[in-house]
Amino acid sequence: MLKTVALIAHHAVSLLNFRGEWIRDLCASGVQVWCLAPDYQDEDSAAVRALGAEPVDYGLRRTGMNPLRDACDALALVRLLRRLRPDVTFAFSTKPVIYGTLAAWAARVPRRVAMIEGVGFVFTDPGQPLGWRRRVLRGVVTALYRRALSHAHQVIFLNRDDRTEFVMRGLVAENRAGVLGGIGVDLRAWVPALPVENPVTFLLVARLLREKGILEYVAAARRVKAQHPDVCFLLVGGLDSNPGGLSRTEVQSWVKDGILEWPGYVEVRPWLARASVFVLPSYREGVPRSTQEAMAMGRAVITTDVPGCRETVEDGVNGYLVRVRDVDALTEAMLHFVRDSELIVTMGAASRRMAEARFDVHEVNQRLTGLLMGAAVGPQGT
């Protein structure tokens, strides 16, 4: 019987936002849950305790590859896990998966589960020749993944393409790699709201990284506004320190030019309520939570035909799939909604139905709990 679990995360806020319902369910079932994250604030710790779990601060920088610092952090994590002695560790995001899984193995944790929520910028095709730094980083991360995942009892992917790539690269054994699908949203909290038809308003929610397709979004917005000045474009998300991060100056220049509004990193629900259509022209994803939230609120979706994104759209039913980095195709997809606003309503309703069928967080959480207890997840999802 499962008694104790250590969740190993890279960010306390993400742990609460993306795992909060699951943590509550685990605690309610009598499981003791330790929530490990490196950046707790007082309000985050209080929120974790309110779920019934125990916050545990540990040292691990989310970005950067300083081998000495990472090795010291991993050793400290080994000591922490030896003290906690959980039955299972569950790690997600790149560095927690790598160092958390290795630390759990060294600490002799009986069961070790890792979730690959996306392959990250290291494996995402940048659309141009790789620079030497990126080639070196890809080699290092590949080697670390191969070593760490060899010590995981179960490795969970959100889409089939990521699973296939990791298996083909020899990073994980095929019989220990399964597909979960999207991590889900609380459909009772993300309720449908009638989409705005006039003015037609497009919304992109993402960390401000080039690989999220933000430059393509801005380029398409310029073209659409040249023909239809009343159409509105919104961009919600915070600046990011990753190598692909955009600068504040760059984003503010778009605001100054009247291309879009940018409130920064804010609660997304009011902005989804203002939106007609959700747009995510990303280069690659796991299965994006932002799109699942938009679908739950009844928003049509424009996204790219790439791993992780294509799982959220049935082309022509709840939105449109476009080629990655194709500004022409993205612009044309936007113009479909500008020319025929009825699509905003009909495709938005289809998105909600799809969210109910595929992305109910409570059903996903039941599967995750089963995985902690030793259930297998199939290669095509459950």
pLDDT averaged per 10 residues, the chain (length 382):
92 91 94 95 96 94 74 94 97 93 98 90 65 79 95 95 94 94 94 95 97 98 98 96 89 98 96 98 96 98 97 98 98 98 98 97 91 72 49
Joined tokens for residue 167:
């298996």
The answer to whether residue 378 sits within a structural domain is no
Q: What is the pLDDT of residue 119?
A: 80
Does the N-terminal peptide bond of residue 199 adopt cis geometry, omega within 30 degrees of 0? Answer: yes
The answer to whether residue 196 sits within a structural domain is no
Q: What is the pLDDT of residue 382?
A: 43
For residue 31, give the nearest of 50, 16, 46, 52 by alpha carbon: 52
Contact 152, 144 (CB under 8 A): no
Q: Please tell me whether residues 110 and 237 are part of one structural domain.
A: no
Q: Please tell me whether residues 279 and 305 are part of one structural domain.
A: yes
What is the pTM assigned to this prediction?
0.89
Q: Please tell me whether residues 175 and 210 are part of one structural domain.
A: no
Contact 297, 273 (CB under 8 A): yes
Q: Please tell me whether residues 233 and 114 are part of one structural domain.
A: no
The answer to whether residue 379 sits within a structural domain is no
The answer to whether residue 195 sits within a structural domain is no
Q: Please tell me whether residues 366 and 341 are part of one structural domain.
A: no
Q: Please tell me whether residues 77 and 165 are part of one structural domain.
A: yes
Q: Please tell me whether residues 124 and 224 are part of one structural domain.
A: no
Q: Please tell me whether residues 51 and 180 are part of one structural domain.
A: yes
Joined tokens for residue 207:
């960390």
Question: How many structural domains is the chain composed of?
Answer: 2
The three-state secondary structure class of 320 is: strand
Q: Please tell me whether residues 119 and 257 are part of one structural domain.
A: no
The answer to whether residue 377 sits within a structural domain is no
The answer to whether residue 22 sits within a structural domain is yes
Q: What CA–CA distances, in Å, run from 353 to 24, 98, 181, 300, 349?
A: 26, 36, 16, 11, 6
**204: alpha, beta or left? (left if phi > 0; alpha if psi -120 to 50):** beta
Q: Please tell me whether residues 26 and 128 are part of one structural domain.
A: yes
For residue 9, give the nearest of 119, 124, 89 by alpha carbon: 89
Output the DSSP codes for 68-115: HHHHHHHHHHHHHHHHH--SEEEEESHHIIIIIHHHHHHTT-SEEEEE
The answer to whether residue 380 sits within a structural domain is no
Q: Please tell me whether residues 57 and 108 are part of one structural domain.
A: yes
Output the DSSP codes for 331-345: HHHHHHHHH-THHHH
For residue 203, give the nearest of 312, 342, 297, 325 by alpha carbon: 297
- Containing domain of residue 156, as a range? 4-184+360-372
The answer to whether residue 32 sits within a structural domain is yes
Q: Please tell me whether residues 24 and 48 are part of one structural domain.
A: yes
For residue 61, give the nearest of 71, 51, 50, 49 by alpha carbon: 71
Joined tokens for residue 220:
């398409």
Phi, psi of 5 (to 5 degrees): -135, 140
CATH label of the domain that carries residue 169: 3.40.50.2000
CB-side exposure of 157: number of CA atoms within 13 Å?
30
